[in-house]
Every structure is written in structure tokens, then in C-alpha cells.
Chain A
Amino acid sequence: MKYYGLIDGSDSSLKEFLNKLPGVDAVGADARAAMLATRSIKTTSKRWAIDTAISMVDLTTLEGADTVGKVQALCAKAVRPDPTDLSVPSVGAVCVYNDMVGVARKHLDSIGGAHVPVAAVSTAFPSGRASMKVKIQDTQDAIDAGAGEIDMVIDRGAFLSGNYIEVFNEIVAIKEICGEKAHLKVIFETGELVTYDNVRKASYLAMLAGADFIKTSTGKVAPAATPPVVLVMLEAVRDFYEMAGVRIGVKPAGGIRNTKDAIKQLVLVNETAGPEWLTPSLFRIGASALLNDLLMQRMKMDDGYYASPQYVTID
């Protein structure tokens, strides 16, 4: 059923739906996230969490200075994060700019990484400021080049001016391009939406429009994936499952730099959306530096001491 039968796709039905959502009490949301951050994850559970987090990393490079060589190096790392220990799982995906998708896909396939998808940031990432024509072409190019996942940004200007239907229609249009070929992740840039009420509204808006994943940030704006923002998004996917019977994924991105932060995210998932979401098909972490810290902590758990950073490969 279109839009899960929850709205009819008109401006008024979307507005009515979004305006009926309960508010978020910011103090309460912060307190809940802070409480969950006190969970103490040790020994066997820490080891499980590290491997799970590695398998959820969207290993990312989104720089103006990206080159073929840089992207190929990243792909190699994505497939075998620790070349000396093949029990380390591959990461969730490689995330690059549109023009590097072909390079990444080809290289992954040539090094035994056919199972690692390429995610392309799309729709005039990171600002989202371009015509719809350009955004559609941007997405089409990425899919043609072999992107299995599209990380689109929403038009925050339209959202903040209350023009929800425009944001909605853009997502619907991009979803149509993705079709069956690519998973669609919708980036809110929560640092620009600012309030938790907006984060909740954006979450439902994107899910209704057909997002497979909702994603916090581009990584270009701070604050990004703060625990309370992720909490609010996890509540949204949990409750949306009750309404629509479909599990939508969540991807925090930006600011998750070490193992502790990553484990806090997994605790949030476990105790908010539930253990069903603890899989790379429903939870990803957009990051670059994080992977090396996860590898260092993994080595430490095996060896009992911290190795020199030179034992972990640079990106």
C-alpha cells in the first residue's frame, strides 16, 4: 500500500500526521540517553559489541581531495579491516562521493569484496541546494555506476520553512529512482534541524516517503549523531514498526570516533528499538576514524595490552 496506508500523499494528510505526533521533552530525552550511557559493557559482551560495530561501519571518505588511490585503499580496508586477522568481519559499506562509486565498486569486486556495498552520497550532498533535475541525475549516475545504497540529504530549508510536502516529494522521487536497485538512506542533518521535535517529524516524514534508513548527519555539521538524537530516531523506527509493520534502519553519522561511543550507540539500539535492530541491515554507523579504534580495542582484548598504532593500518 502506498505510504503504508497511513497518509494519502497530500499536503494536508502529511501535515495532519506530523502534527499529531507527540512532542519530545528535551530534558527527559537527554536524561534517558545519559542514563543508558552509564551501561558498563565488559568482557564477552564487549567483544561481541566490537565485532558487531565493525560490521555496521559505513567506512567513509568524503573529501574534496579524494583520489582513485585513496578510495581503493579504503575499499581494501573495508573488506579486510585487519589483514593479520581474518576473523575480523568486513564493514557494512564503503561510502563515497558520486564520482568515486564506479572506482569503488570495481575495486571491491576485484579484491573479493563483492559482498560490500557501495553507498553514494547524493542529491547535492552535503547542502542539498540544487534543482530537482540535478538531484535526480546525481542519484541516477550513482546507481548506474553500481551504488547499492543512496545516502540522500533532505532540503533543510524547505523543512524549516514548514514546506514538508516538498521534502516528502523529493524523497518519493529519489526513492523511485532507487527502485529495487539501491537502498535509500535519508540524511536529516540534525545539527541544522536543531530540536528533537523536528528530528521526530523528519523521521516520520522520511519513513512515510519510503526511506529504508534514516540517517542523522552528513558529517559536515556539528553537532551530529548525539545520543539523544539517535534515541529519538530509534523511538521513531520502533513505533513505526508498530504502525506499518516495517522495520526501518537507523544510521548515526558524525562524531562517533571511538569504541566507547560506538558501544553506547549499540546500547541505545538494544534498549530502545530492541535487539532486532542489532544487524547491519538495520543499523549502520557512518564513520572513518572509528574503525581503527575498534580494531585497537579488539587487539587489546585478545592480547591484553594496547599495541602501537602502527599495528593498525592507516586509511
Chain B
Amino acid sequence: MTFEYAPAPESRASVTIKPKYGYYIGGKFVAGEKHFPTINPATEEVLSSISLGGKKDVDAAVKAAKKALDLHWSKLSGRERGKYLFRIARILQERAREFAVLESLDNGKPIRESRDVDVPLAAAHFFYHAGWADKLEFAGVGTKAKPHGVVGQIIPWNFPLLMLAWKVAPALATGNTVVLKPAETTPLTALLFAEVCEQAGLPAGVVNIVTGDGSTGALIVNHPGINKIAFTGSTEVGKIIAESVAGTSKSVTLELGGKAANLVFEDAAIDESVEGIVNGIFFNQGHVCCAGSRLIIQESISDEFIKKLQKRMEKIRVGDPLDKNTDLGAINSRAQLEKIKELSLAGDAEGAERWSPQCSLPDKGFWFAPTIFTGVTQSHRIAREEIFGPVLSVLTFRTPQEGIDKANNTPFGLSAGVWSEKGSKTLWAAQKLKAGVIWTNTFNKFDPTSPFGGYKESGWGREGGRHGLTAYLKGVTHE
């Protein structure tokens, strides 16, 4: 007999999902008019009915945010703002299981990740920024720095709660008020976060949540009452936003796509590099803007390395996101699954060799087996376009400089990984790589103290760390 792991599902009992949700505006839960369903991508079960925010709703949210800013939030000291942030952070920790289960249900990501990564990091962002709230004058931003005012925040579906925390925590710490739109397919944890705001006694209107689709996002971006836009999502939408705000006084930060290179040198620690490559591309089903979607490996070790990588991929457990032993969950939506399929077919057509381990995928829901393409060249679409799924493109290099050149030969520049046991080589490579975040002998490590953001088409500005704070302040005189 072999060692089969019996199902170990996390209980759904900790979450209560209402049949229908409205918005959270001005400290009240208000009903919407039009609705759309949000589903569990692992089963296609309809979880709830979500309100589709229109002009009236966005107007009301911006008005509430402005009122809260003028009457209350701007009059509080940093220390008082910090107290609310600390409170939110603690409540997130107390309700961690509830958030993790809800996130996995709505998003499809494995409970191991929502439990061990998303929720603890979200709480960490609030703790970190709570500490900044009363110390802004020591942040190197000068003495004239002030909050923008009302901030419009549009977040993606890959890390719904975590991206909310990345946006809301620095905005509140620096004294802004917020109108936030969660992604169309993953609104539930943001709506649960509204309850946390209530529980923390946050003054009405400081955080407003308007659900909806792209049209709702456009209303926020174009609203004259919004002073700053913070967006995380596709480069395509990022470009539209940049065009929309051109010529206005709105500030913008954009955190967009990526096609990160994981550069493996022949002197790397091989077993740990294999782990890092797996984590780099299969973490969160590859729905990660900084995913290591290109493995660029030194030709002298590529055959041996790919063999090891394939052996390791055979151990990846694909299935029920709520099972504690699942490594790879469901693709977030049918549309995303279609995009992954389309680009993978392009990989086949262009002559790359596709490989996936044997794994049985559930009948219902949206699934894609972990996949690697070998024999990929710079001119393949799968080497250039962001797939945003569990698909790795493998390219090779002969000399270190060639590796760097291939890694940088992309319109993106969000992240990169360097794998070598030779310190001087990793430092040399890190200097040459054009990417906002470079990991050495690790990948996909996130910390609120570290700034995150990209070069080129990967975005504008930084989030997290001291650098991220400046994006939420105007009149910054020196950094």
C-alpha cells in the first residue's frame, strides 16, 4: 500500500456568507440595485449575489469619504489613527481562520496559502503601517507632506484581502480616506473587512467599499472627487487608467503585470533551486504578478535540472482548495482559464514542448494542471506575454551575461530571481537585472517593510516599506 493522504478539509463552519451583499458606504451597509453572482471557482457553486456599483453609488462613497476626511479623520493625530490600525490588525488575526476559509472559497487558492500567507501578511501590513502613523515626520518625507485626501483603490482577484491591506493600511496611516473596489470575482473578503472596520470602531466613511466590475472601477478613476488612484492589476487596464488621469491633478500608483525571470546558474544549490522554481510559478496557481514564469537556466545543467523539476512537480497535489494538503487550487475564473489555455496552445503551435505530471482534475470548476514548456525561445509568445497561470516557460543560457540579457529582454520588470551559491555572482546579477524586486536563492517572499513595485510596463511607484508611504503623501520634499 502507498501513503495516500486522506481528505483533510478545513471546515466551512467559521464563515457565514449572506445570500446578497450591498456596499459599505459612510459606515453603513447599503443595498445595491443591480447584482451579479460570485462563485466558488473550485465547484462553480454560487456563493452570493454582489451589487454592481454605478454612478450614484460611487458618488455616495466619494462624498462619504470626503465628509469623513474633513470632519474627522484629518483632525486626528497620527497616534490616534495608529490605534485604529493596530485594532484592525488584531481583529484580522483573531478572525484569521474565517478570512482564510472565505478567501479560499471565493478565490480558489489552497487553504495552506490563505492561512499561512495571505491573512498573516495582511495583518502584518496593518501592524507595520500602524507603527508609521505617528512617525511620519521621521519618514524622510519633509515637514510639508500631507495626505492626498480621498484615495480610490482598485484591487485584483489574486490576493483579495492582502491587496486590500497593501492599499488601505498605508492610506489610513498617512491620513487619507478610502473608496475601495474589490475585484469582480473576489469581493467577499473585502465585504467581511467592512465588518472589521465596524468592529474596530473606525469612524464612518474612512473606508468605503463599492463592489462592481470594470465599469465601476472606471467611475472611481474618473471621479473628480478622487485625489489619488492606486491600482493593482493588468498592464492593459493600467494603461487605460494612466490615459484617463493624464491632465488631471490626480496622483497614480500602478502595480501591473510581469514576466519574471528565475535565473539558475550551474553553481546553484540544485534541490533548493528546484523548490524555488516550483514556489515561484505554482504559488497561488501562478496568479501572481511577480511569478517566476520564465526559468532561464544555464545550459550545462538544464537536462538534469528539468528532470528534477519534473520529479518534484509529480508531487504537487492539485485539488480541493479547502483541503489542508492541497498545493495547487482552482483557476480563479473561466475567463482566466480560457486565457491560460489560449496561451498554452500558442506555446504548442510555436514548437515548445509541453509537459505536465499525471494528475486527475475535478470535473466541475476551473482547473489547469501544473505545466512546463521546454525549448522556449525569446520569440515565443509564452516567453513574452504574461500567462498568469501555472505555466512555466524554460529557456537556457550559455554565459552569465547572456542570461542577464535574456532576463531583461521583456517589456516588464517587476521581479527576478537569482540562484547561485556564489555570492559575488548573485550580487553582480542583481545589479544587472532590471526589476523592482530581486530575490536571491529564494522567491515570492513578501514583507511589509520592503518596498515592492516594477520597472517599465510593470508599473509606477512602490508599495510597502518607507517608500510606499510617500505615494500616499503630497508635498514630499525629500526622500
Contact = CB atoms under 8 A, between A and B. Distances in A.
Interface of A: 22-25, 27-29, 31-32, 38-46, 48-49, 52, 235, 266-267, 270-271, 275, 278
Which residue among A32, A40, A235, A271 has the maximum number of chain B CB atoms within 10 Å of its CB?
Answer: A40
A22 B271 CA distance: 9
Nearest to A231: B271
A22 B298 CA distance: 14
Contacts of A32: 271-272, 275
B275 A43 contact: no
A40 B4 contact: no
Contacts of B2: 275, 278
Q: How large is the interface on B (under 10, 10 to 19, 20 to 34, 35 or more residues)?
A: 20 to 34
A27 B441 contact: yes
Nearest to A31: B275
Which residue among B3, B112, B276, B441 has the maximum number of chain A CB atoms within 10 Å of its CB?
Answer: B3
Contact of A48 (B3, B270, B441, B442): B3
A246 B3 CA distance: 22
Contact of A25 (B4, B8, B112, B272): B272
Contact of A40 (B276, B324, B421, B442): B324
B445 to A, nearest CB: 10
Given A28-B441, A48-B1, A23 B315 contact: no
A286 B269 CA distance: 29
A285 B278 CA distance: 30
Contact of A42 (B6, B267, B270, B442): B6
Contacts, number: 73
Contacts of A266: 3
Contacts of B4: 44-45, 48
B311 to A, nearest CB: 8
A271 B4 CA distance: 11
B337 interface: no
B5 A29 contact: no
Majority DSSP secondary structure for residues of A touching B: helix
B442 A39 contact: no
Interface in B1-31: 1-8
Given A22-B268, A25-B421, A38-B112, A270 B275 contact: no
B195 interface: no
A272 to B, nearest CB: 9
30 contacts: A22-B267, A22-B269, A22-B270, A25-B272, A25-B273, A25-B441, A27-B272, A27-B442, A28-B271, A28-B272, A28-B442, A29-B272, A31-B275, A31-B442, A32-B271, A32-B272, A32-B275, A38-B324, A39-B5, A39-B324, A39-B325, A42-B6, A42-B8, A43-B6, A44-B6, A48-B1, A266-B3, A270-B3, A275-B2, A278-B3
A22 B265 CA distance: 11
B5 A41 contact: yes
Contacts of B112: 38
Contacts of A278: 2-3
B116 interface: yes
Contacts of A46: 6
A45 B269 CA distance: 33
Contacts of B6: 41-46
Contacts of A31: 275, 442
Contacts of B1: 48
A24 B116 contact: no
Nearest to A43: B6
B21 to A, nearest CB: 32
B444 to A, nearest CB: 11
Contacts of B3: 45, 48-49, 52, 266-267, 270, 275, 278
Contact of A271 (B8, B269, B315): B315
A31 B8 CA distance: 22
Nearest to A52: B3
Which residue among B267, B269, B273 has the maximum number of chain A CB atoms within 10 Å of its CB?
Answer: B269
Contacts of B7: 42
Interface string B261-283: 00000011111110110000000
B324 to A, nearest CB: 4
Contacts of B421: 22-23, 25
A44 to B, nearest CB: 5
Contacts of B116: 38
A28 B269 contact: yes
A130 B116 CA distance: 49
Interface in B120-140: none
B318 to A, nearest CB: 14
A78 B409 CA distance: 64
B224 to A, nearest CB: 48
A29 B269 CA distance: 10
Nearest to A275: B2
A28 B276 contact: yes
